[in-house]
Amino acid sequence: MNKIVNHTISKQASKFVRDMVDKIYLHENYHCCTTAEWEVWHLSSCCVGRCDKHCCASNERQGQIMTCHEFWSRKPLVAQHTKNNDFLKNLRRTGTASCVMQIRNTHILWGHGNRIYNKQIPDHFVDELVLAAKDQNLFSKSPVLGLYINEKMLA
């Protein structure tokens, strides 16, 4: 099974993950964008450029901004970014998977079918969830990419 972590994490961090899963299946999320392979959905935060929600529409895109759609629609880029992260392999194999990705901010991803749900991890849970995800080859980070989450970001 697509384990999130093999570590002992705090009760609060565990609750954060569970709450995210509850919100995903109870439809407390919204669609961000669709690529040839994936539907990207967000919880709580959103990226600029593709989303027409108020928080995004009020921002202007500037410079070389990497949006969710631009990232997930570029297979070589995704492959390069996730080469040490088994998330997509697990998702394709079993239909469900999760991981932690650091692309400027740290996010937890939950995949089900062709949907990828994304939520930013609060700062106080980042260390333990990253450590736990690393242990399972379910962590990846990029020093150069920046997904645009609610505020301006130059790649």
Partner 1 sequence: MSRVPFHQRIQELRQARGLSLRQMAEELEQYGVKVSHNAIAKWEQPKMVGATRLPSQEIIAALCKLFNVKPSFLVEEMFSNVRSKSDSERIAKLLDVELLTEEEFAALLNVKDLFIKSRKQKAGEK
98 binds partner 1 (CB under 8 A): yes
22 binds partner 1 (CB under 8 A): yes
For partner 1, which stretch binds (CB under 8 A), given 19-27, 76-84, 119-127, 141-149? 19-27
- Report the C-alpha gap between 24 and 108 in whole angstroms: 12
Residue 121 CB partners (closer than 8 Å, separation 6+): 16, 100, 105, 106, 107, 108, 129
144 binds partner 1 (CB under 8 A): no
Closer CB to partner 1, 38 or 148, in the complex? 38
Q: Which of 89, 92, 96, 122 binds partner 1 (CB under 8 A)?
A: 96
149 contacts 65 by C-beta, under 8 angstroms: no
30 binds partner 1 (CB under 8 A): no
Q: Which of 67, 85, 136, 140 binds partner 1 (CB under 8 A)?
A: 136
Would you call 79 helix, strand, or coil by DSSP?
helix
For partner 1, which stretch binds (CB under 8 A), given 30-38, 71-79, 87-95, 99-107? 87-95
Q: Which of 26, 54, 60, 83 binds partner 1 (CB under 8 A)?
A: 26
4: closest CA among 14, 73, 69, 12?
14
Neighbours of 67 (CB within 10 A): 24
31 contacts 41 by C-beta, under 8 angstroms: yes
- Written as one letter, the residue type at 40 is V
Total residues binding partner 1 (CB under 8 A): 33
Rule CB under 8 A: which residues touch partner 1? 1-11, 13-15, 17-19, 21-22, 24-27, 93-96, 98, 112-113, 115, 132, 136
